[in-house]
Structure 1
Amino acid sequence: MNDYTEELTKQLLAKNPALSEEKALWWVEMLWSDFESSYAKAGYPYRGAQYAADYVKQQIEQHGAMLHLVTRKQKDENEGEIK
């Protein structure tokens, strides 16, 4: 992944200048890890870093311009529920 991180982050920043470099990197890492874990849970064989990078590039192209609008749910520490 590290071989692709810098380039994917640059692509995301070009697609969405509203993101900071730190947030763009977070999105790249999150998309990558989510893809790999979902792919593995589905029982598919690992197809390599290039395959994951291609998926992240596709997500950047399709959704990158709007990622700054996504809000994260916060966990309520008192009740353990996500709000």
Structure 2
Amino acid sequence: METIFKRLTEELLAVNDELSAEAARTWVEGLWEDFETTRAKAGREYKGQEVTEQIVLKWIKQYGPHLHK
């Protein structure tokens, strides 16, 4: 999982140079937890880390440039 978080953090830093590495990592962890928690509360079946990674990557590409605001 560390490898996934590192890759997502690097992706976020690539689209938002306003964030520090620490802040980017915090955002990645928060987005990851938010997606998995929300999905679980909705009673949805767990689809695995691959699905969560795809969703977080999509969010990073869509919202990443604005997360420092």
Tell whether the structures are fold-level matches, with TM greater than 0.5.
yes
Residue 68 of structure 1 aligns to a residue whose secondary structure is coil
Higher relative contact order at CA 8 Å, sep ≥6: structure 1 or structure 2? 2
Deviant stretches of 4+, over 4 Å: none
Give the count of matched residue pairs. Answer: 69
TM-score with structure 2 length normalisation? 0.97
Structure 1 unmatched ranges of 5 or more: 70-83
Letter in 2 for 1:63: Y
- Cα deviation, 1:19-72, whole Å, max 9, x if unaligned, reads 000000000000000000000000001000010000100000100000000xxx
More helix by share: 2
TM-score with structure 1 length normalisation? 0.81
Following the alignment from structure 2 to structure 1, what is the Cα–Cα distance between the partners of residues 8 and 67?
14
Structure 2 unmatched ranges of 5 or more: none
Q: Which residue of 1 aligns with 2:65?
A: 65
Following the alignment from structure 1 to structure 2, what is the Cα–Cα distance between the partners of residues 30 and 43?
20
Over the matched positions of the two proteins, sequence identity in percent amounts to 45
CA RMSD of aligned residues (A): 0.7
More strand by share: 1
Rg: which structure is higher? Answer: 1
